[in-house]
Amino acid sequence: MTTVIVDYESGNLHSAEKAFQRMAAETGAGAVVVTADPEVVATAERVVLPGDGAFPACRRALFARAGLFEALEEAALRRARPFLGICIGMQMLASRGMEYAETPGFDWIPGTVERIAPADAALKVPHMGWNDLVVDRPHPVLEGIATGDHAYFVHSYQMRLADPAHRLAHADYGGPVTAVVGRDTILGTQFHPEKSQATGLRLIANFLRWRP
């Protein structure tokens, strides 16, 4: 059983790899592999898509690697393998992003990625640091994670969903900020689970155990 972390030179792969390897060892979830090989991605049991930086740059980097997006589609959509997008990896699941220029997303979870606009002018953007989660809907990957648990965020844009049922958790930052999204076998976290200590490690372990 293999969990693939997709390497397209746009994510914090070292810390993500270490966190997933640690929890895979604890849960007996098998190997964790970092790769850009489309064949390995397409046949993985689970796929993790990290992403740091800006939406357009991440999308360009991903699509510059021949066959990689098609491999993600094969794994997540056609084979219905558990898929987790992290930070920009989550944002790219949306229909489009509005950072710098309108940029198409995967359109796997319909919505638009827009700049955070806190109601309180004293709150700065980017939304950076620790914040409490508010759990909106139960999900196996959120098992043992409760409203008030902390997660680590670094972002200036957030996902505004076409269907509110796809929002599993949010944070309050001068208004609700989408924190976890999901539909079918596809999930995304705006926060970085690999940097979110106990909350993040629990989410990773739950993802590795998840058998949708």
Hey, which bits of the chain come out as E strands?
Answer: 2-6, 31-35, 46-49, 83-86, 96-97, 103-104, 111-115, 127-132, 134-135, 150-155, 157-161, 167-172, 176-183, 186-189
What does DSSP assign to residue 133? -
Q: What pLDDT sits at residue 74?
A: 98
CB 205 within 8 A of CB 22: no
Given a cut of 50, the residues of the chain with pLDDT beneath it are none
Active-site annotation holds for 192 = yes
Q: Which of 17, 74, 99, 194 is catalytic?
A: 194
Tokens of 38: 């489309």
Map residue 212 onto helix, strand or coil.
coil
Active-site annotation holds for 127 = no
Q: What pLDDT sits at residue 12?
A: 76
Active-site annotation holds for 58 = no
Q: Which of 17, 87, 166, 170 is catalytic?
A: 87
For 52, other C-beta atoms within 10 Å of its C-beta total: 17
Residue 147 φ then ψ, to 5°: -55, 130
